[in-house]
Amino acid sequence: MSEQLVFHVDSQYDNMQAKRYLKQIQGLSTRLLTRLKEKPDGILMNGNLLRTVDPVRAGQTIVINLPDENSEIEPKEGELDVLYEDSFILAVNKPPFMPVHPVKQHKTDTLANIVTYYMEQRGENYVFRAHNRLDRDTSGIVIIAKDKFTINKLKNNVKKTYTAVVHGKVDADGTVIKPIGLREDSKIVRHVLDEGSPAVTHYQPISFNDEASLLSLTLETGKTHQIRCHMSYLGHPLIGDDLYGGSRELINRQALHCGRVEFIHPVSNKKISLGAPLPKDMTEAVIMLIPKLKED
C-alpha cells in the first residue's frame, strides 16, 4: 500500500499553482512530482485529481499517494536498536563494526540488510535511504527515510552531536575551518587541503586531563572522515584511530559516537530529539583515560 502525505492549504496559498505549492512550500522534488503525475491517484485535492498546473484552494486537503518502491538489498535477521519510528522515518542506534551499506566485502552483514529484514517483517516496503552515513567503526544514531520526499526534506536540516575521545588535553571550545581532500597516496585518508571541500567542525571539551579529552562535536558540513581528519590536524587524533595517528591500546576502533540528533519532522513539523548512550567500549576507554568521570 502506498504511503501518503496530507497537506491542508492555508489561506495565504489560495490560488497558488499546484506545482509551485508542492515544490516551494511543501518541498517535493521535481523528480517526485514527475513520478506522481504517472499515477492515476498520485495527487488529489479533496478526493479529485489535481494537476500540477491547477490552482490550490484555501481550506482544501491535498493527498499525495507516494509511489511504491522495491528494495534490492538482501534481508538479514539481526538486532536493531530502534530509537524512533513512524510512517516516514526510522532512527536506530548502530553498533560499532557494522557497515551502513552493503559493499564488496560486506554484502549481508550491514545495517541496510537488517533494516530490510525488519521492514519486511512489519509488512512495509521502502528503499533503504540513510540520511547520515556513519563509518563502519563509528557508532550511534542513523536516520533512515522511508521515501524520497522525507530524505529530501531532511537534507541539511538535522543537527547531529558527536562524542569523541581524543589524545591530549583540549581545555577550551574551538572551531576548525579547514577544507578537506583525499591524500594523493590514498583512496581513503583525508587531510587538510587548500583545494579541498569546505569543512567546519565545532568542538567543546566535556572532561580532560593531560593525556586525553572527551569532546562534544557538531558539524556545519558533513564530509567523509571530517571529525577524524580535523582533530588529527589539530594534533589530537581520536583514540583508537590508527588511520589518523591514534593509538589502539585501549580501544580497537576510532572512539567516535553520534549520540544526539535533532530535527523538525518533515510532515508533522514537530521537533524530534533523540539520544543514544555511549557504547561499552568507549565508556571503558573514557574511564581508563579520564578517571574524574568516575566521580560524576
DSSP string of 154-185?
Answer: HTT-EEEEEEEEEES---S-EEEE--EEE-TT
β-strand partners of 263 = 158, 272
Backbone angles phi, psi at 267, to 5 degrees: -110, -50
Can 135 be counted among the known catalytic residues? yes
In whole angstroms, what is the distance from residue 195 CA to residue 179 CA? 7
- Give the C-alpha separation, 183 to 192, whole Å: 9
The β-bridge partners of 133 are: none
The secondary structure of residue 31, as a DSSP letter, is H
The answer to whether residues 261 and 161 touch, using CB atoms and an 8 Å cutoff, is: yes
Q: Single out the catalytic residue among 54, 135, 147, 173.
A: 135
Residues labelled catalytic? 135
